[in-house]
Structure 1
Amino acid sequence: MSASVRTVLFVLGIMVASISLAMLIPAFMDMNAGAMDSASAFFWSSAVGGFLGMAVALGVRTEDRNLTTRSAFLVTAGSWLVLAIFAALPMRFGGHELGWTDALFEAISGLTTTGATVVTGLDARPPGFLMWRAILQWIGGIGIIVTAMAIWPMLGVGGMQLFRLESSDSSSEKVLPRAAEIATAISLIYLALTLICAMAYAATGMNGFDAMAHAMTTVATGGYSTRDASMGAFTEGGADYVAMVFMLMAALPFAAYLMLVRGHPAALWRDPQVQGFFTLVVAAIVAMSVFVVAADLYAPEAGIRAAAFNTISVITGTGYATADFGVWGAPATAAFFVLMFAGGCAGSTTCSVKIFRYQIAILAIRQHVVSLAHPRAITPLRYGGRPVSPETVYSVLGFLFAFIAIFTLSAAILGAIGLDTTTALSGAAATLANVGPGLGDIIGPSGTFQPLPDAAKWVMSANMLIGRLEVLTVLILFTPRFWQS
């Protein structure tokens, strides 16, 4: 067995053992609440996962833990799938009436921070089960930041090489050491934001359990809630205002937070993707607020509040809801469908296409138009004051094409399975963009994905993994040249 294969298995083994250890938290919570079936499932799932994970890690341990490019892709793609399988065990066997399809769907949705759910009756569920869903999203949130900041930039995935941190080695042979350094730094920032968010929620009247669970899913922009009414159950205390602030904070690049801590506060506001993100958010909120108030759906203050919250939630891919915006009318439905494809900044916990790719694509189109009008003119492409290489442009455009192609294909498959047009289109968009709820009566903000046929759930599960892993990370695994020596 080669050293690179050993490294892949070692990393996956450690990850499985770590998530199995995390299962002890909900296990003790459910045991304390008297939910013994759920507690027992968490305990034995923890034991099985911990044993298998450590057995693999110890069995393949090696002093040479460098990653080749191929191995880095395998670790990135394999980790989410393997972790989801083990995370689904206590959901499947904990007496929660979830079959394998639903348990895996819920686990994948949690780890990918999508927030689409097949679980109903959340208000009556055991606390450990609800906390486990929050923990999965919190783990997925920090995991995606590490890969977006440390691994994808070095592998040139989807234009992420634009955000290679200073002093990072361009060689993928040093991916793991660099990732470890970055993970240590951003983990503290991520944890601090989570604790501050929890305290802010508690100040609005949430109990400690709800405050911590929602803080974890807010900072992860995941959207899992402990209540069927989602964030709508806590609007009287003003929790939705807290959620808006932290959803926006989580949508910003964590690399800029690192610069902020190091005494460079201007780095955040000078970032063109941050500027573009806030421009989109403000414009969308204003437009949606004007629409709902003009349509007499709400009084002015309530309309602005509902429009702002749900718009931010959809753009950031968090998936919380305070209202069923599916009944706001066709213009609002169309607007929310388009906003699903926005996303936040690179290196954040958000999902979807992300702002910088639209900016690069627009700059590339403008450069091409100028070159057509003035063939001899030299028009270098620059982004944030830095030159953009042709390889980066190709990577961005390749991502956009692949994203649109997969969305179109998955929507067509969902339609062929028997879903209505609204459910098929919004379901494909919501899962590929990792937004959470879709549109329509079935999977809209007031519904769940539970009524869908199993075949549709498998398609959407694949979409969630592909979307969360920046599309190309998964597609490259299906190319023959990737596996050639």
Structure 2
Amino acid sequence: MLHFKAIGKIMGALLFLLGSLMLPAAAISWIYGEDSSPILISAAISLLIGLILFFSFSKQDQLIRKREGYLIVALSWILMTGFGMIPFIISEEVTTTADALFETVSGLTTTGATILTDIEAMPKGLLFWRSMTHWIGGLGIIVLTVAIFPLLGIGGIELFVAESPGPTSDKVHPRISETAKRLWYIYVGLTVICTLLFWAGGMTFFDAINHSFATMATGGFSTKNSSLAFYDSAYIEYVAVIFMFLAGTNFTLLYFGAVGKFNRIFKNDEFKTYSIGLLVISILIAVPIYMHSDIGVELAFRKSLFQVVSVVTTTGFITDDYTQYGSGVTFVFFMLLFLGGCAGSTSGGIKFIRHTVFLKNSWLEFKRIVHPRAIVPLIINGERVTGRIINNIMNFLLIYLMTFVVGSLIISMLGYDLATSLGAVATCLDNAGPAIGKVGPVDNFAFFSSEAKVVLSFIMLLGRLELFTILILFTPFFWRAN
């Protein structure tokens, strides 16, 4: 039987934390002389309901098992979306509920797809909250909450397992709360450094902190209509590339780097595939860019590197329209939507570790066919990968493909052309932002119907929580389990 009272207390803590995180956005509105009441009212609603839930169940047994963990994570993202969209609705800056839903889900899942047609006309308080949803969803509000749950008498390991994306078992500390704290220290520290570097490059402090939120969360929301292309700055683009790359790296490896254990980084198979893959793809894409435009080698490489890192890490910042370099380049960028960054990063997507396991296992299968009696283990990071993990990854890839196909079919049946349907579903499932068709790098999602926006919002949630966390709730045995 599910422990619903324990779930209620945790939902209260999460809503209280969400409401607290709205207050800086209200302060931004006040600083710029805007009406801060929409955000303040939204914060008050979240804080009040959070407190009521928390203290209503404060004396309940806080045993959290794996089932409760999955349900809490799924419900928390639904609640964060519902309460996170209130500022957009009260301010009337977003005209429909479907638009507010899409924009909020896109922010929290760090997708970065937007329905806004004139971003620069939006109030700065709302823009800050919009960027804050990225930052909250980046490493995961659940991971942050796990760090403080011991103070509330709540265990958090099942929440950490259910919310943390990617098949990785690396830990920086035996206690899960300490692991969560240290990962958040890195997240906050890199955000501060990124902000200062953007500011030093000519951005206003407001723009710098908004873009650093989007960069470290691999989200892509910008305060400018033309994204980072607005600044036309090599310095800003290279800073963004570095921090997008770091944000797409397993944060456990970043911790090992921070404490000087660099050998743990360079021996990691996923990191080697991730870093070498980004460099090789960027060089290959730079060739057609150089051939199709009258620019120098450095600029061609920078355009390629920026767009490749942005798409692969699922950040979604844009400085160039990659669809103008021919169908071949466009197709390559579409395929890049299915890569994703490293497991344990803020990136979305399938993740490099799954691709690595799949490709290595497929290659070894040829050897097993030739030598059927031989024991041919799959080795990743010097350790043997169990059959259960391989089976889990194969199942994930199959369900991911099925979700992409079914989602594309639904969107196309709602009246959209094939390229747009494929691009929209791929980028929402990958939590990337730009795609192909009418949702290319210089387009937005405003033209979709309300029904399509709801479907795409659900697909973004599926992608952010890596399918199983949401889909398991639709299985009868989840609810019948003891």
Matched, 1:165 2:155: no
Pairing 1:122-201 to 2, within 5 Å after superposition:
122-143=119-140, 146=143, 151=158, 154=161, 160=167, 162-165=168-171, 168=174, 178-201=175-198
Specify the SS of the correspondent of 2:451.
Answer: helix
1:230 equivalent in structure 2: 227
2:247 equivalent in structure 1: 250
Deviation at 1:207, TM superposition (A): 0.9
Structure 1 residues 306-365: Cα deviation after superposition (integer angstroms, max 9, x where no partner): 111111100100000001222221011101000011111110001100000011112222
Deviation at 1:301, TM superposition (A): 2.6
Q: Cα–Cα, structure 1 residues 159 and 323, in superposed 2: closer, same or farther, change >3 Å?
A: closer
Q: Cα–Cα, structure 1 residues 157 and 224, in superposed 2: closer, same or farther, change >3 Å?
A: closer
Q: Is the 8 A contact 1:157 1:470 kept in 2?
A: no
2:355 equivalent in structure 1: 358
**Aligned partner (choices 451, 457, 460) of residue 461 of structure 1:** 457
Deviation at 1:122, TM superposition (A): 1.3
Matched, 1:4 2:3: yes
Q: Cα–Cα, structure 1 residues 167 and 324, in superposed 2: closer, same or farther, change >3 Å?
A: closer
1:383 equivalent in structure 2: 380
The one-letter code matched in structure 2 to 1:83 is: M
Structure 1, unmatched stretches of 5+, are 169-177
Q: Cα–Cα, structure 1 residues 28 and 145, in superposed 2: closer, same or farther, change >3 Å?
A: closer
1:310 equivalent in structure 2: 307
Q: Cα–Cα, structure 1 residues 158 and 262, in superposed 2: closer, same or farther, change >3 Å?
A: closer
Matched, 1:53 2:59: no
Q: Is the 8 A contact 2:73 2:142 kept in 1?
A: no
Alpha-carbon separation, structure 2, partners of 1:156 and 1:390 = 23
Deviation at 1:158, TM superposition (A): 8.4
Deviation at 1:74, TM superposition (A): 0.7
More off after superposition, 394-403 vs 141-150: 141-150
Deviation at 1:153, TM superposition (A): 8.2
**Aligned partner (choices 330, 333, 338) of residue 335 of structure 2:** 338
More off after superposition, 122-131 vs 461-470: 122-131
Q: Is the 8 A contact 2:69 2:159 kept in 1?
A: no
Matched, 1:480 2:476: yes
2:395 equivalent in structure 1: 398
Specify the SS of the correspondent of 1:238.
Answer: helix
Alpha-carbon separation, structure 1, partners of 2:405 and 2:353 = 22
The one-letter code matched in structure 2 to 1:205 is: G
Alpha-carbon separation, structure 1, partners of 2:93 and 2:202 = 29
2:273 equivalent in structure 1: 276
Deviation at 1:65, TM superposition (A): 2.1
Deviation at 1:150, TM superposition (A): 5.9
**Aligned partner (choices 281, 286, 291) of residue 288 of structure 2:** 291
Identity of matched residues, % = 32
Deviation at 1:279, TM superposition (A): 1.7
2:443 equivalent in structure 1: 447
Deviation at 1:144, TM superposition (A): 7.2
Deviation at 1:6, TM superposition (A): 2.2
The one-letter code matched in structure 1 to 2:246 is: M
Alpha-carbon separation, structure 2, partners of 1:83 and 1:292 = 41
Alpha-carbon separation, structure 1, partners of 2:325 and 2:157 = 41
The one-letter code matched in structure 1 to 2:169 is: F
Q: Is the 8 A contact 2:288 2:325 kept in 1?
A: no
Alpha-carbon separation, structure 2, partners of 1:136 and 1:158 = 18
1:172 equivalent in structure 2: none
Deviation at 1:152, TM superposition (A): 7.9
Alpha-carbon separation, structure 2, partners of 1:144 and 1:150 = 14
Q: Is the 8 A contact 1:285 1:311 kept in 2?
A: yes
Pairing 1:23-102 to 2, within 5 Å after superposition:
23-36=22-35, 39-62=36-59, 64-102=61-99
Alpha-carbon separation, structure 1, partners of 2:157 and 2:240 = 28
Matched, 1:411 2:378: no
Q: Cα–Cα, structure 1 residues 66 and 417, in superposed 2: closer, same or farther, change >3 Å?
A: same
Q: Cα–Cα, structure 1 residues 264 and 236, in superposed 2: closer, same or farther, change >3 Å?
A: closer
Q: Cα–Cα, structure 1 residues 246 and 164, in superposed 2: closer, same or farther, change >3 Å?
A: closer
1:470 equivalent in structure 2: 466
Q: Is the 8 A contact 1:153 1:159 kept in 2?
A: no
* TM-score normalized by the length of structure 1: 0.93
Alpha-carbon separation, structure 2, partners of 1:364 and 1:258 = 29
Matched, 1:266 2:269: no
Alpha-carbon separation, structure 2, partners of 1:328 and 1:336 = 11
Alpha-carbon separation, structure 2, partners of 1:322 and 1:211 = 16
Q: Is the 8 A contact 2:5 2:60 kept in 1?
A: no
Alpha-carbon separation, structure 1, partners of 2:69 and 2:76 = 11
More off after superposition, 267-276 vs 23-32: 23-32
Structure 1 residues 227-267: Cα deviation after superposition (integer angstroms, max 9, x where no partner): 00101011236211110010001111111122233441211
Structure 1 residues 376-396: Cα deviation after superposition (integer angstroms, max 9, x where no partner): 111122211011111111111
Q: Is the 8 A contact 2:72 2:159 kept in 1?
A: no
More off after superposition, 409-418 vs 16-25: 16-25
Q: Is the 8 A contact 2:249 2:341 kept in 1?
A: yes
* TM-score normalized by the length of structure 2: 0.93
Q: Is the 8 A contact 2:197 2:239 kept in 1?
A: yes
Deviation at 1:29, TM superposition (A): 1.6
Alpha-carbon separation, structure 1, partners of 2:462 and 2:10 = 21
Structure 1 residues 24-75: Cα deviation after superposition (integer angstroms, max 9, x where no partner): 2111221332322xx2111111111110011011111236323111001111
Q: Is the 8 A contact 1:158 1:396 kept in 2?
A: no
Q: Is the 8 A contact 1:110 1:133 kept in 2?
A: yes
Matched, 1:220 2:208: no
Alpha-carbon separation, structure 1, partners of 2:159 and 2:199 = 36
Alpha-carbon separation, structure 2, partners of 1:338 and 1:56 = 44
Structure 1 residues 408-435: Cα deviation after superposition (integer angstroms, max 9, x where no partner): 0000111110111111000000000000
